[in-house]
Amino acid sequence: MLKLKLLSPKSMVLILLSAVIIFSGCVKEESPEDVTIGEPYQGGVVAHIFEPGEEGYVEGKKTGIIIAPVEEVFLSQWGCQGRAVGGTSPEVGFGRSNTERVLAFHDALPNYYSNPTQCHPANNGTVAARVTIDFNLGGFNDWFMPSQEEMNYLYKNRDKIGGFSSVEYWSSCESNAANACVMSFVTGELLSKPKSEVLNVRVIRFF
């Protein structure tokens, strides 16, 4: 009669570790060198790849913008209408700092979220920057509202990205105390709208 030899717990552990190592060697990791615009990557969709001469380009490295998928679009007011945040920039590379600045401003207002009409009767307490900073998708939590120039790239590649409706989207830059920057995805026109309007927000991150 054939007798089976039982392996010791130590031997079993070694066999399992070997299998994990072999399997891991067969798994292809995502590489930014292989991605193209419109392709799923790092929690979203590749929205732009920086080219030589563009702000954000790094020689010898593929860098760009990832946008959250259309399912993650949310509606919000920009924030407090009638008070200036100050210091936001429309340029590429400032979307993140703009978003953080806008959030810090609203957090510093006395009880803004529970008493938003202190700014304007139309304010409802929603702040796009607050939702954005709390956003987490695909294990990534470094999402932000695009600056005006970053929004231009989204419009330029909108057909490849997909999921844009024919409406206006908030940017993270401020126009003045009453208004903030908006882009129309019908015409690509950069507009300025009252901060208390409820508009679409689609967040991005860099890779």
pLDDT tens string 25-80:
333 345 667 889 999 999 899 999 999 988 888 888 889 999 999 889 999 999 99
Residue range 81-86: mean pLDDT, rounded: 97
Please give the model's pTM, rounded to 2 decimal places. 0.81
Q: What is the 3-state secondary structure (H, E, C) of 42-75?
A: CCEEEEEECCCCCCCCECCECCEEEECCHHHCEE
Residue range 165-179: mean pLDDT, rounded: 94
pLDDT score recorded for residue 16: 40
pLDDT score recorded for residue 31: 65
pLDDT tens string 104-142:
999 999 999 999 999 999 999 999 999 999 999 989 999
CA dihedral 168, 174, 176, 178 (to 10 degrees): 50
What's the rounded Cα separation, in Å, for the pair 118 and 98?
23
Find, among 42, 49, 103, the residue nearest to 76 by Cα. Answer: 103
Given a cut of 80, whether residue 179 has pLDDT beyond it is yes
